[in-house]
Amino acid sequence: MKKIMLKLLFSLPIVALTVLACSSDAMNLFRSKKAAMQIIHFDENGYADYDGVRIKKDKDTNRITYYGTKSSYGAYLAGRVAHLRSDMTNAVEYYKIMLEKNPDNSSVNRIIYLLMTSDGNISGAKSYARHEIDSQDYGVMAPLIVAAADLAQNNYDNVHKILALKNDQLYVSLIYPFINAWAYAGENNKQAAFNEIAKIEDKGHDLIALKLFHKGLIHEYFGETDKAMECFNTIITVYPKEVNFRRLEVITDFYIRNNRYEDADILAKKYIDDSLLSVILADIQNQIKTKKSSPNIRIDTPQKGVADVMFGFNVMFRLAKLDNSFALIFDAISIYLNPEYDATKISMANVLEEIGYYEQANKYYRQVSEQSGYAYLAKTHLILNLLKEDKKDEATVILKELLAKYPENPQLLAELADITYDMGETKEAIKIYEQAIKHLQAMTSTSWTLYYSLGAAYDKDKQSENAEKMMFEALNLSNRDASVLNYIGYSWLDRNKNTDKAISMILEAYNKYPLEGHIVDSMGWAFYKIGYYDKAVEYLEQASDMNPANAVISDHLGDAYWMQGRKNEAVFQWKHSLSQKEDADLLDKKVIQNKIESGMPEPTPIEINDADLLSALNEM
């Protein structure tokens, strides 16, 4: 069957646990007249214990939160529930209570400092990480977190001491030297800083580029502009593929501040062909044009230097497809040491998106400065996440704000058209899709999706000729993408038009993508239309397993069951189709109701005239 776009849906864990450990204690406190009359004294961290309940007062809002403390297991259970709900703040509070009752529980201690770090509270995590180190049984993250907290306080000597501990060789030989180098820079010990950088082996272009980048940054930190220039030039000329946006941003800014406008312009233009980068590079281009840059160097403190180190390793670890928990810790440390570092906020949000935490991801996207080159990227991701959370109104507001700034941006116009289409405003969506296509500057690998979406909108608006024209444009641009083949084939088959070609296109789509439910449904429906009902049921049942909530697939399966004589199952599927939401707008509910009440007449199978096609179908 035809499908407008393939969307991946992510869902967070649903915790069916409604009784928290603190509930009875909190109610007792509220009901106690004695408690109401008692003056409660909070310690310097905002905590107080009273009558079996831990009370916490937020220093900024004076908001009071209650945590049950009588049961160790209850505190752990409540912490686990909060953890599963991604409520890191409350999870930590309950785990703390559990740890106080079981101070030797190293697993809970580790969970606490990792959660606190991921949530940005690294100064608070330090004592728990330090406790693990003192136990002599510590993981790779504990020294890193303690070092970050000490670095933030300019305690450079403590940084060297903590990083001197025996640990995982990867960290000792690769990550620690970068951190130590910047700590030595903070101590104004230039030679020691470069000695640390020299310890790192040249393994792979990505690591060599990272070394050169930070060597250049440290030279610039010490005012050695020529040596910094040499490092940056080497990255650009020898390792151009390692110039990510962050390095591009820093190096072009360096060139502009040193009156190397032509070099800055050449560097920026190398990446301008990318449609996304052409937008986020606009600020850099404006700086080049006006010959204005920030008066200060980008990395002017050891803290910012290490923030950049953590960002760099986060990128490398993610490319190596390591556990996302590493990326969260690295990003959190980076943001902690440089709160204005928008690149890391984007990275942190990306990681949270990957694990389905869209609300938390949006928190970081909202923190990206409006003046940042990353603002466009942050807002486009924010829009998509809001749509996944079904917050179309909020997404539309942000999208229109972006369009006011970039009125001819086809990507933004396409997003607005998608939202408009999903809201049922088909004619308005068509106008916006047409605008988006009009403003396409050049065809890219994804341009065909615009023609595909416009064709689907035309189809829904009963403009069959225009729909077919756009679909064939998409087919050519996409190199016969399976979804486009399936759409055209199903559309023709549904109208008994060009039936041999229609089934041939569906078969081609199936051979390209046999695990997509809508394409499997089309294949099953093709067998149904030619009277191969046993084959139809086989494929339609597969499609139903793949897309159990799709109304059209259930309707098709009901028809096939009926023709097999499985009438009770057919009626069940027809009734089921009326209760489903996916593609429900494509159903004729009156026709289905008539089938439920009266059954259906035997259809006339269509004939296949293409002998090769018929042979291919018989072999399936």
CATH of the domain at 601: 1.25.40.10
Range of the domain at 503: 482-620
Roughly what angle, to the nearest 10 degrees, separates helices 72-84 and 106-118?
30
Give the residue from 337, 431, 342, 423 showing the smallest Cα distance to 378: 342
Evaluate whether residue 452 is within a structural domain: no
Which of the pair, 56 or 351, is modelled with greater confidence?
Answer: 351
Question: What pLDDT is stored for residue 420 in this prediction?
Answer: 83
For residues 145 and 324, give the distance between their C-alpha atoms in angstroms, rounded to a whole number. Answer: 17
pLDDT band at 357; cut points 50, 70, 90: confident
Per DSSP, the residues of 87-145 read: -HHHHHHHHHHHHHHSTT-HHHHHHHHHHHHHTT-HHHHHHHHHHHHHTT---SHHHHH
Q: With beta carbons less than 8 A apart as the criterion, state whether 159 and 177 touch.
A: no
Evaluate whether residue 196 is within a structural domain: no
Evaluate whether residue 250 is within a structural domain: no
- Other CB atoms within a 10 A radius of the CB of residue 330 amount to 29
Question: What pLDDT is stored for residue 58 in this prediction?
Answer: 64
Question: Using CB atoms within 10 A of its CB, is residue 295 exposed (0-12), middle (13-18) or buried (19+)?
Answer: exposed
Length of the chain, please? 620
Question: What pLDDT is stored for residue 59 in this prediction?
Answer: 61
pLDDT band at 32; cut points 50, 70, 90: very low
Question: What pLDDT is stored for residue 80 in this prediction?
Answer: 78
Q: With beta carbons less than 8 A apart as the criterion, state whether 335 and 238 touch.
A: no
Q: Is the pLDDT of residue 68 over 70?
A: no
pLDDT in tens, 396-441: 888 888 788 878 878 778 888 888 887 788 998 899 889 888 888 7
Q: With beta carbons less than 8 A apart as the criterion, state whether 355 and 326 touch.
A: no
- Other CB atoms within a 10 A radius of the CB of residue 548 amount to 13
- Longest alpha-carbon distance in the chain: 92
Task: Tell me the HSE value of 566 on the side-chain side, using a 13 A CA sphere.
Answer: 14
Q: Is the pLDDT of residue 100 over 90?
A: no
3-state secondary structure of 401: helix
Evaluate whether residue 500 is within a structural domain: yes
Question: What pLDDT is stored for residue 7 in this prediction?
Answer: 30
Evaluate whether residue 578 is within a structural domain: yes
* pTM of structure: 0.66
212: amino acid identity, one letter? L
Number of domains in the chain: 1
Evaluate whether residue 102 is within a structural domain: no
Find where tokens 């068509």 sit: 430
Average pLDDT over residues 584-602: 90
Per DSSP, the residues of 165-192 read: S---HHIIIIIHHHHHHHHHHHTT-HHH
pLDDT band at 15; cut points 50, 70, 90: very low
Evaluate whether residue 360 is within a structural domain: no
Average pLDDT over residues 239-253: 85
Enclosing H/E stretch for 66 = strand 64-68
Question: What pLDDT is stored for residue 293 in this prediction?
Answer: 64
CA-based torsion, 329, 334, 336, 342: positive or negative:
negative
Per DSSP, the residues of 544-609 read: HHH-TTBHHHHHHHHHHHHHTT-HHHHHHHHHHHHH--BTGGG--HHHHHHHHHH--PPPPPPPP-
pLDDT in tens, 417-426: 888 887 788 9
Average pLDDT over residues 201-217: 92
Cα dist from 585 to 243, 413, 581, whole Å: 48, 24, 8
Evaluate whether residue 598 is within a structural domain: yes
What average pLDDT does the structure give for the chain? 82
